[in-house]
């Protein structure tokens, strides 16, 4: 293999693939990045696979000789990131790969490419949507996914496909986030629901969102594989084989108190008052005709209080939340104003975005369980 | 029967032996155990002594000075300025520390709720004997194949090695083979998880409170 490639394209591709490599590869080859130069197309294919997730990127390249080689992913990522902004020449010589860029020269040992597992084929496409929309929607939902692997079903994002409606849901038992979007389903796509590992999905969707390209979702439920592609990047992940909780019944259908708040003001106020709330404690919200009064802390650790104006309607209510979870929800609505709905201090609160015309948007919701009030 | 002696005194301690160490004059707790060992404690956490002499050793008491000496000639010299307390107590036989109470309880709970391993699992027995020690739990999966479970509080590399040894032995038994391994712990270290998965052993994180049926006090959506 002998190729010439632009430094930026190579560095981005390698960095993206390296991100999905395992931190502790049980077999050294799994910590490698596969470089393939195909003589038929002038591209360098950069891939990584650890049996769970795979990532592949094509980079335009000038080929002198085709071939494939496997090198340490971390090392290659560090090197390509540090290279000067000049064309990079990659050449395999015997069991080593030479990297020359400007005045910098590296020689890396390669790993046996025959030992590298076969990358999974991209499953069948089930639909597409703008990458930016996917990136936003996934970020809005994945924030509520659980991180504790005691309950694997909570570490995923449920993806429901029903015609041109795509629903994403995640919950960690304390909060639940749901986003509905309209997309373009593939002709022969069937309605289905799968559970995708939240972390992997969030990573892939974030990259696609930043690229501005169209994102394609692909599924092979039988093989338990999900694929996401766009902007020359393809990634696959193994689906979680677990039952997602029946969440629709959790969504409250009545409310006795509603308030429309300015997100940035409330976020700043929560951050301020929760300075006295030790880790894992609560911030209390008191809604009344006079507005919203925020309090945190107590006699021992110091206390804080702040009042903000809100558009309030209904019964006055005092309710307490974990400040981190509340902030997660407020930053996930992605609008200047948010609509909050409550019933009582021990029932979940519902947070929804409010668009510029003052309409409560129906396509996103963040359901948050309060914490017990003192006494 | 020998007794344990407790002394609280203002004292200064010098140790002369492989290393030399000095503790300036201060209030200390001196503990003389029935085996003759002497340890010097300060009022600082539940922690090991500041200095000590392990048995066999001998205490020579002179007014104002204790000298503790062992057979290699190392000496712990305690200069006592003021004695505030001196008592002796008979402690009786020590029933022994019940180690890893949680681990034993986890085993019991997991055996009771064998479905935690997966649907259709059935218990063969707890503490299934092998030539190198008992396997925590032996079970059968829904298809009837044997599953050996090793239970730990904290899942570390050692536990995976232990289970690997059991699996190797169990797999020699034609009536049991093939035996699948499950490494179950409240927390599993990333290294241990990697090793286990590489050896085809399934990792299972156990929620002790959930197994005990203790509902957390906090509000939850479900």
Q: What pLDDT sits at residue B73?
A: 82
How is residue A371 annotated by DSSP?
B
- How does pLDDT run across A282-295, given as a tens digit for each residue? 999 999 999 999 99
- How does pLDDT run across B141-180, given as a tens digit for each residue? 988 899 999 999 899 999 999 999 999 999 998 888 899 9
A308 Cα to chain B: minimum distance (Å) = 27
* Closest C-alpha to A142, from A161, A170, A167: A170
A20 near A235, Cβ under 8 Å? yes
- How does pLDDT run across B21-50, given as a tens digit for each residue? 888 899 999 999 888 889 999 988 777 888
A26 near A217, Cβ under 8 Å? no
Residue B1 has pLDDT above 60, yes or no: no
For chain B, the maximum distance between any two Cα atoms, rounded to a whole number of angstroms, is 78
In three-state secondary structure terms, B107 is helix
Q: What pLDDT sits at residue B98?
A: 59
Helix-helix angle B190-198:B157-170, to 10 degrees: 20
Q: What pLDDT sits at residue B215?
A: 67
User: Could you give the percent of chain B with pLDDT greater than 90?
Assistant: 42
Q: Could you tell me if the ipTM is greater than 0.85?
A: no
Task: Compute the radius of gyration of chain A from its Cα atoms.
Answer: 25
**Is residue B216 very low, low, confident or very high in pLDDT (cuts 50, 70, 90)?**
low
Token pair for A307: 């009042």
**Is residue A67 very low, low, confident or very high in pLDDT (cuts 50, 70, 90)?**
very high
Residue B99 has pLDDT above 60, yes or no: no
What is the pTM for the complete model shown? 0.73
Better pLDDT: B115 or B46: B115
Q: What pLDDT sits at residue A216?
A: 94
Token pair for A96: 């080593």
B101 Cα to chain A: minimum distance (Å) = 21
**Is residue A55 very low, low, confident or very high in pLDDT (cuts 50, 70, 90)?**
very high
A152 Cα to chain B: minimum distance (Å) = 10
**Is residue A198 very low, low, confident or very high in pLDDT (cuts 50, 70, 90)?**
very high
Of A24, A174, A372, the CB nearest to B190: A24
Q: What pLDDT sits at residue A375?
A: 65
Which residue's entry shows tokens 């677990």? A242
Mean pLDDT of the A253-278 span: 92
Distance between CA atoms of residues A350 and A51, nearest Å: 39
Which residue's entry shows tokens 């709330």? A277
Of A22, A23, A245, the CB nearest to B222: A245
Q: What pLDDT sits at residue B54?
A: 87
**Is residue A306 very low, low, confident or very high in pLDDT (cuts 50, 70, 90)?**
very high
Interface residue A24 vs chain B (CB under 8 A): yes
Residue B86 has pLDDT above 80, yes or no: yes
Strand pairing class (A156-162; A165-171): antiparallel
Chain A residues lying within 8 Å of B160, measured CB to CB: none
**Is residue A279 very low, low, confident or very high in pLDDT (cuts 50, 70, 90)?**
low
Range list of H helices, chain A = 7-19, 73-82, 131-142, 198-211, 263-273, 323-332
């Amino acid at each position: 293999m002998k190729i010439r490639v632009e430094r930026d394209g190579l560095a981005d591709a390698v960095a993206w693939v390296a991100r999905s490599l395992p931190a502790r590869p049980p077999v050294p080859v799994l910590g490698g990045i596969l470089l393939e130069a195909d003589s038929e197309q002038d591209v360098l294919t950069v891939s990584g696979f650890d049996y769970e997730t795979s990532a592949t990127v094509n980079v335009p390249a000038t080929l002198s000789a085709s071939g494939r080689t496997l090198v340490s992913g971390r090392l290659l990522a560090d090197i390509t990131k540090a290279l000067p902004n000049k064309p990079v020449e990659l050449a395999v010589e015997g069991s080593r790969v030479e990297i020359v860029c400007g005045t910098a020269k590296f020689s890396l040992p390669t790993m046996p490419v025959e030992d590298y597992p076969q990358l999974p084929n991209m499953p069948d496409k089930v639909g597409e949507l703008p990458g930016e929309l996917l990136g936003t929607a996934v970020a809005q939902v994945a924030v509520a996914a659980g991180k504790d692997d005691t309950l694997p079903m909570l570490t995923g994002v449920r993806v429901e496909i029903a015609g041109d409606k795509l629903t994403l849901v995640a919950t960690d038992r304390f909060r639940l986030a749901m986003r509905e979007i309209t997309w373009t389903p593939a002709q022969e796509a069937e309605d289905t629901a799968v559970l995708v590992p939240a972390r992997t999905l969030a990573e892939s969707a974030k990259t696609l969102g930043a690229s501005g390209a169209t994102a394609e979702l692909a599924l092979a439920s039988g093989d338990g594989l999900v694929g996401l592609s766009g902007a020359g990047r393809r990634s696959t992940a193994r689906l979680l084989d677990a039952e997602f909780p029946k969440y629709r019944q959790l969504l409250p259908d009545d409310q006795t108190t509603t308030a429309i708040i300015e997100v940035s003001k409330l976020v700043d106020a929560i951050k301020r008052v929760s300075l006295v709330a030790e880790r894992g404690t609560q911030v209390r919200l008191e809604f009344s005709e006079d507005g919203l009064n925020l309090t945190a802390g107590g006699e021992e650790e110091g206390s804080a209080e702040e009042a903000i104006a809100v558009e309030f309607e209904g019964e006055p209510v005092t309710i307490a939340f974990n400040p981190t979870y509340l902030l997660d929800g407020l930053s996930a609505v992605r609008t200047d104003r948010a609509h909050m709905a409550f019933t009582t201090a021990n029932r979940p609160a519902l947070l929804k975005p409010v668009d510029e015309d003052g309409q409560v948007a129906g396509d996103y919701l963040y359901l948050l369980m309060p914490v017990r009030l003192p006494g | 029967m020998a007794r344990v002696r407790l002394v609280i005194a203002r004292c200064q301690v010098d140790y002369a032996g492989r290393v030399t160490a000095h503790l300036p004059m201060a209030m200390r707790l001196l503990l003389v155990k029935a085996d003759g060992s002497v340890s010097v404690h300060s009022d600082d956490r539940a922690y090991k002594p500041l200095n000590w002499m392990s048995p066999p050793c001998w205490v020579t008491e002179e007014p104002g000075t204790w000298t503790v000496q062992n057979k290699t000639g190392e000496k712990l010299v305690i200069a006592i300025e003021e004695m505030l307390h001196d008592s002796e107590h008979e402690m009786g036989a020590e029933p022994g520390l019940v180690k890893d109470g949680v681990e034993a309880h986890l085993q019991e709970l997991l055996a009771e709720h064998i479905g935690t391993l997966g649907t259709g699992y059935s218990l063969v027995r707890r503490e299934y004997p092998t030539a190198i020690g008992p396997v925590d739990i032996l079970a059968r999966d829904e298809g009837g194949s044997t599953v050996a479970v090793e239970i730990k509080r904290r899942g570390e590399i050692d536990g995976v090695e232990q289970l690997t040894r059991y699996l190797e032995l169990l797999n020699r038994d034609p009536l049991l083979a093939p035996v699948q391994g499950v490494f179950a712990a409240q927390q599993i270290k990333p290294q241990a998880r990697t090793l286990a998965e590489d050896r085809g052993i399934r990792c299972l994180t156990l929620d002790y409170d959930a197994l005990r049926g203790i509902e957390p006090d906090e509000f939850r959506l479900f």
